[in-house]
């Protein structure tokens, strides 16, 4: 079961209880960001990987959760994908926020995809490390918060508009 697959109402109670009893029910309480995040296997499984993806995902999500919370956006949905190379096995180029591996600890940041698959994201920063990611996101999340106070505009839409040098509100 992937984290984004919440139990449907019709799911047998006995199986739900079994999942909880074995400590596997955490996804039910996870943030939207964590629940919907996706990564390819990358290192050490894939010989083509240039950076971590699957093993970096939990820490990266925790980092982004803290950033979103600092701007009051923690309950917003934001579809994050991480891949270890540009081949894109985690379908990164349709997601709202993407890290594509370039080298150990370094990624290209893509922003502005559409969760419905109607808009590709675009390269926003090249070859950044974790500090560079936080630096790039800070003004975008601040702008997203300002937009959110006016209308419930999704963060990614704001990021996309900023990326295109247009104003989202
Ligand atoms: S995206 Fe690249 S690193 Fe990730 S599984 Fe596919 S080929 Fe391997």
**Domain CATH for 41:** 3.30.413.10
Total domains present in the chain: 1
- Edge-to-edge order in the sheet of strand 38-39: 38-39, 80-83, 97-103, 106-111, 122-128
Let me know if residue 16 belongs to a domain. Answer: no
Q: Is any atom of ligand 1 closer than 6 Å to the C-beta of 43? A: no
Let me know if residue 12 belongs to a domain. Answer: no
Atom of ligand 1 nearest to the CA of 92: 1
Let me know if residue 98 belongs to a domain. Answer: yes
Domain that holds residue 146: 32-165
The structure tokens listed for 42 are 């990358």
Q: Is any atom of ligand 1 closer than 6 Å to the C-beta of 84? A: yes
From first to last of its 169 residues, the chain has per-residue pLDDT tens of: 455 556 677 778 888 888 889 988 877 788 989 988 999 999 999 999 999 999 999 999 999 999 999 998 888 878 899 999 999 999 999 998 999 999 999 999 999 887 777 888 999 999 999 999 999 999 988 888 887 776 665 666 666 666 555 544 3
Let me know if residue 111 belongs to a domain. Answer: yes
Let me know if residue 62 belongs to a domain. Answer: yes
Query: Beta 80-83 vs 97-103: how paired, if at all?
Result: parallel
Let me know if residue 45 belongs to a domain. Answer: yes
The preferred substitution site among 45, 87, 101 for testing ligand 1, maximizing ligand atoms within 8 Å of CB, is: 87
Residue appearing with tokens 């509100």:
169
The reported pTM is 0.84
Q: Is any atom of ligand 1 closer than 6 Å to the C-beta of 87? A: yes
Let me know if residue 1 belongs to a domain. Answer: no
């Amino acid at each position: 079961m992937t984290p984004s697959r919440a139990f449907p109402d019709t799911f047998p109670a006995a199986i739900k209880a079994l999942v909880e009893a074995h400590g596997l029910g955490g996804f039910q309480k996870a943030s939207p960001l964590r629940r919907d995040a996706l990564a390819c296997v990358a290192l050490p499984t894939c010989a083509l990987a240039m950076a971590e993806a699957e093993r970096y995902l939990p820490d990266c999500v925790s980092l982004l959760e803290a950033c979103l919370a600092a701007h009051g956006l923690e309950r917003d949905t934001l579809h994050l994908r991480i891949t270890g190379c540009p081949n894109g096995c985690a379908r990164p180029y349709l997601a709202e926020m993407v890290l594509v591996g370039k080298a150990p600890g370094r990624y290209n940041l893509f922003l502005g995809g559409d969760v419905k698959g109607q808009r590709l994201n675009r390269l926003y920063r090249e070859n950044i490390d974790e500090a560079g990611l936080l630096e790039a996101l800070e003004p975008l999340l601040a702008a997203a918060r300002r937009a959110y106070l006016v209308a419930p505009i999704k963060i990614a839409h704001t990021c996309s508009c900023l990326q295109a040098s247009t104003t989202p509100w």
